[in-house]
Amino acid sequence: MSETDKYYIERCLDGHPDDFRHIVRRYQAVLLAHLAGKLGSRDKAEEAAQESLVRAYFNMNKLNRPGSFFSWLLGIADRVAKENQRKEMLHRQREAIRSFSQEAASPELSQDYGLEAAIAELPESYRRVVLLRYYGGRSCSEVAEQLDMPLGTVTKTLSRAYATLRKSLQQPSETESYEVQK
C-alpha cells in the first residue's frame, strides 16, 4: 500500500489493471469528499467518484507526469461534477417546464456536506492539502512529500485554508444570502 502513485500507474499501464485497486483505495475518500462538496449528496458523490476513477483509468496513458496523478484526478472529478450539475440543471429545467412552474427549485445542499462544499470552494492549492490531510489520511509530512513542498508551506497552507473555511462556514450559503437580499 505504500508504493507511490507512479508505481501503480506504471503497473496498470504495464498490463496489470488489477493494481488500479490500490489507487482506488488511496483516493476514494478524497474524491467522495470533494464531490460531495460539489454535488451535495452522498449518492451523487459516489456515482461521480466511480465515474472519475473509471475515466482516470482509461486515460492514464495521457498522464504525462504520473507523480501529479492526484491533481489530475481532481481535475477529472471537477469535470465529472460539472457535467452532472449541467445534466441536473437541464433536468430541472425540463421538470419546471413540464409543471408550468416559474420557479425552478435550486438544488438543496444537504447540511451534512456544508464542510465539503466549503472545501470545494477553496483555491486549488489549499484544497489539495486539506483533502489529502483529512480525507486521504495523510500526515503533514506525507502531504509535503506528495505535493513536493516544504513542511512549513503545508502548515501555512492549512492555516490559511482553515481561516477561509471558517469564514465561509460562518456565512450563510450563497443562495440563501441572495434570497435575503431580495
Which residues contact other proteins by CB under 8 A? Answer: 15-18, 20-21, 24-25, 28-30, 32-33, 36, 46, 49-50, 53-54, 57-58, 115-116, 130, 133-135, 137, 140-141, 151-152, 155-156, 158-159, 162, 165-166, 169
CA gap 86, 181 in Å, rounded = 26
CB nearer other proteins, residue 81 or residue 130 = 130
Smallest separation, CB 151 to other proteins (Å): 7
CA gap 68, 61 in Å, rounded = 13
Smallest separation, CB 57 to other proteins (Å): 5
Smallest separation, CB 31 to other proteins (Å): 8
* CB half-sphere exposure, 74, CA atoms < 13 A: 22
CB nearer other proteins, residue 92 or residue 155 = 155
Smallest separation, CB 90 to other proteins (Å): 24
CA gap 67, 168 in Å, rounded = 32
CB nearer other proteins, residue 78 or residue 96 = 78
Smallest separation, CB 50 to other proteins (Å): 5
CA gap 50, 56 in Å, rounded = 10
CA gap 60, 46 in Å, rounded = 21
CB nearer other proteins, residue 25 or residue 94 = 25
Identify whether the C-beta of residue 152 lies closer than 8 Å to the C-beta of residue 160. Answer: no
CB nearer other proteins, residue 128 or residue 133 = 133
